């Protein structure tokens, strides 16, 4: 699976293998975001339970927020 954390303009991808844990399955496709004048943060999680999804280069959604 893949979890992306976006803090300001930095995207931090974290890969993890499978989502057999019920608490992780419940989080599949979940997204959390917080934006205010001081901080912008976004967290997205997708689950993957095959070796195909957990091998090779990690690729994820890229989110860009423009601050005015």
- Ordered by start, the domain boundaries in the chain are 2-46
Cα 27 from chain centre: 11
Q: What is the pLDDT of residue 32?
A: 64
Q: What is the pLDDT of residue 26?
A: 47
Q: Are 49 and 36 in contact (CB under 8 A)?
A: no
Segments of the chain scoring below 50 in pLDDT: 26-27, 56-68
Q: What is the pLDDT of residue 58?
A: 46
Q: What is the pLDDT of residue 31?
A: 64
Q: What is the pLDDT of residue 57?
A: 47
Q: What is the pLDDT of residue 11?
A: 74
Q: Are 26 and 37 in contact (CB under 8 A)?
A: no
pTM of the model: 0.34
Half-sphere exposure of 27 (CA within 13 A, CB side): 18
Total number of residues shown for the chain: 68
């Amino acid at each position: 699976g893949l979890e992306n954390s976006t803090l300001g303009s930095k995207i931090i991808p974290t890969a993890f293998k499978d989502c057999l844990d019920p608490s992780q399955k419940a989080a599949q496709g979940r997204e959390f975001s917080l934006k205010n004048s001081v901080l912008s943060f976004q967290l997205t999680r997708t689950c993957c339970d095959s070796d195909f999804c957990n091998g090779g280069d990690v690729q994820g959604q890229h989110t860009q927020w423009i601050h005015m």
